[in-house]
Amino acid sequence: MKKESGKSTIFLLIITILVLVGIALIINFAKQMMIETKNQDLRTNMLLMQAETKKGLEEVCFRTVNLDSTKEEDLNKINEIKNEYLKGIILENAPEEVKEATKEITEIDLNENCYYLNEDIIKQMGIENIEEKEDGYFIVKYDFSNANVEVINTKGYNGSHTLTQINKDLSNEESISGE
């Protein structure tokens, strides 16, 4: 009788250990899936921001194509058009905490063509559930010569801060996991 009791205790101990290991693996998998979902959400939101801000940039490029930025009168008109159509707050006019957060991004030239998208502007774009404290600040860099927009996030993803870099990183991960 004692031999059977000892065997059942060992058996119960082994089952308990296996269950605990299984639970730990499931929790780790769930955490990884949550991180992946958050990264995909970041990418999706940045794509939406890019599409929305690019509309304004294209309008600016269309309306200023025949203006000469070396002439003061034309330059004033260009600035009026930019104020009307570009989304965001010029980065130099952004709150101090935003400027501080951008100082950590050294690989990107943040200049006068960079605009900060605050939570209100992002909501106007139809993007919900953005919390700057958790998700970081969003900056758009307008490229007038190529009519292109780069979206930058101060928190980033695996050390990448621009939408272009994040797309590249996530594409590489998908190709590695798909092999």
d(Cα 70, Cα 79) in Å, to the nearest integer? Answer: 13
Contacts of 67 (CB under 8 A, 6+ apart): 74, 75, 77, 78
Output the tens digit of pLDDT for each of the chain's 179 residues.
Answer: 455 667 888 899 999 999 999 999 999 999 988 878 887 888 889 999 999 999 999 999 999 999 988 899 999 999 999 999 999 999 999 999 999 888 888 888 888 999 999 999 999 998 888 888 888 899 999 998 888 999 999 988 878 888 888 888 766 666 566 55
**How do the domains of the chain map onto residue ranges?**
2-55+86-177
For 53-83, write each residue's pLDDT tens digit: 999 999 999 999 999 888 999 999 999 999 9
Residues in the chain: 179
Which tokens hold the place of 45? Answer: 């939101």
**Is 114 within 8 Å of 133 (Cβ atoms)?**
no
- The model's pTM is 0.78
